[in-house]
Structure 1
Amino acid sequence: MTAQRTLRLVLSLLAGLLLAGTVATSAQAEDGYRFWGYYQWTAGKWAFAQKGADVVVPADGAVEGWRFAVGGAAPRMPRAAGDFEAICGKTPAETGKKRVALVVDPGTPEDALSGETPKPATGTCVVTDPKATGAKVLAAVGPVRIEKGLTCGVDGYPGKGCGDQVKNIKIPATDTPVTLQIGAAVGSTAAPAPTTSSSSSSDDGAPWTGIIIAAVVVLVLAGGGLVLSRRRSSSQ
């Protein structure tokens, strides 16, 4: 069995244990891995994805999640709820496309590689074609580093490493929730709604302003010409 298959098997077993709830959270030291976990928001909570992101095809209105962390027997879910309305509520639906809310949680400084700092967790509404996979949805928000078939980096984080084994880890019983930074929707082709502002009225008046200025200039020049003509007449 290759190292890649071994790693995939271990991660799959960990996911299975989390889903089955057969392993209790423990404060005892254990061995684990540092990796990006893939999740779906289901029935009001996060669940570890049963299949890879290159296979899963999320439906319109789905919420996808990614979390970078050191994982062992305890779950390391995204630290923010998968609120579709908060992420995609302001993005209009488009014919022939689907909206998927994407939560990306780079994790805590304690989980980070030495010398790297995780960015804040973000929520992005991805507007894409109905057949787009979870992998395509993730790639819509930034470059994804893939090594040996594994998702190793998302939008440049982390800059190195991929599913590395970590010895003697201690996983907290709970993670402190975070507030998502909601970004602009990506992939949307809907035209922005027309807006009215004071600049519109000033623009409408701009031609008249030019005409008035031109008229004043003509009057000044005409007045100057009249004065000059009178002087010439007086001199003669």
Structure 2
Amino acid sequence: MTTRRGPVAVLSLLGVLLLALLGPAAGSAHAADYRYWSFWKGGADGWAYQQAAPTGYVPADGTVDGWRFVLSPDGGQGTPRPALAPDFGSVCAGTAPSGGRKRVAVVLDFGTAEDAPKGEQPPAVRPVCASVPTAANSAEVLAAVAPPLRYDSSGLLCAIAGYPRAGCGEPVSGADSSTASGRAKDSGGPDLGLVAGAAAIVLLGAGAVWQARRRRSR
């Protein structure tokens, strides 16, 4: 038996198709990027995003901490890593070990001009070797080699070596949104113009089918 689809059925089908087309695009359109200092742990395989807070992580002697100022989802995939490799030997070659202290290599990557807040220019990447007490956590290691640090009232790290001068973990807005949208487009997400065109084609096609069935039923 052949069933005839009226306007409700056609529109229901159209809704499913539109959701399939627009779902990924809608998600990417609402994704927010943030400016913040990301924290990394260096190892033989390169950089790994550090899940522990710097105040709660105690690096061992001979390890590498990395910091990168980014414009990116907080801890999301694709967050830019520090530009220099985590090479303890080259960074701390000129710092002799001493009793009761440890050496920790620190890579400070201030990001790119695109990452920078308006009116600021990021300093060059800076590798430094910290010689600190063995019990020092990563926040204390950072304070020893990159003052001044700036924190907000909740303890979030806002600035390293005075950079940036203002702001703390804010989402991009206004003119900055062009950078975020450009990155979203480069990530391989669907183009909204193409999605809209495809949706229009689906709408016209569904309407034509409905009209044809109406004529046949008369």
TM-score band by shorter chain is 0.5 to 0.7
- Select which of 65, 85, 91 maps to 1:87: 91
**In the alignment, structure 1 residue 76 sits paired with structure 2 residue 99:** no
- Deviating above 6 A after TM superposition, structure 1's stretches of 4 or more consecutive aligned residues are none
Name the counterpart of 2:203: none
Distance 1:150 1:57 in 2: 18
Name the counterpart of 1:100: 104
- Matched ranges for 1:71-150 at <5 A: 71-72=72-73, 73=76, 74-141=78-145, 142-147=147-152, 148-150=154-156
Name the counterpart of 1:155: 161
TM-score by length of 1: 0.59
| Aligned-residue offset at 1:75 | 1.9
Matched residue type, 1:66:
W
| Aligned-residue offset at 1:149 | 1.3
Distance 1:123 1:160 in 2: 23
Secondary structure of 2:171's aligned partner: strand
Name the counterpart of 1:227: none
| Aligned-residue offset at 1:93 | 0.8
Pairwise CA RMSD of aligned residues? 1.8
Structure 1 portions without partners, runs of 5+: 1-27, 175-236
Matched residue type, 1:146:
Y
Cα pair 1:71 1:171 within 8 Å, conserved: no
Secondary structure of 1:164's aligned partner: coil
Once the two structures are superposed, residues 115-157 of structure 1 have per-residue CA deviations (whole angstroms, 9 ceiling, x without a partner) of 1010001011100100000000000121110112111000110
Overall identity of the aligned pairs, in %: 40
Name the counterpart of 1:171: 183
Bigger share in helix: 2
Cα pair 2:132 2:141 within 8 Å, conserved: yes
| Aligned-residue offset at 1:96 | 1.2
Matched residue type, 1:152:
C
Secondary structure of 2:168's aligned partner: coil
Name the counterpart of 1:57: 58
Name the counterpart of 1:4: none
Matched residue type, 1:52:
A
Cα pair 2:105 2:127 within 8 Å, conserved: yes
Name the counterpart of 1:35: 36
Matched residue type, 1:166:
V
Q: Larger Cα Rg: Structure 1 or Structure 2?
A: 1
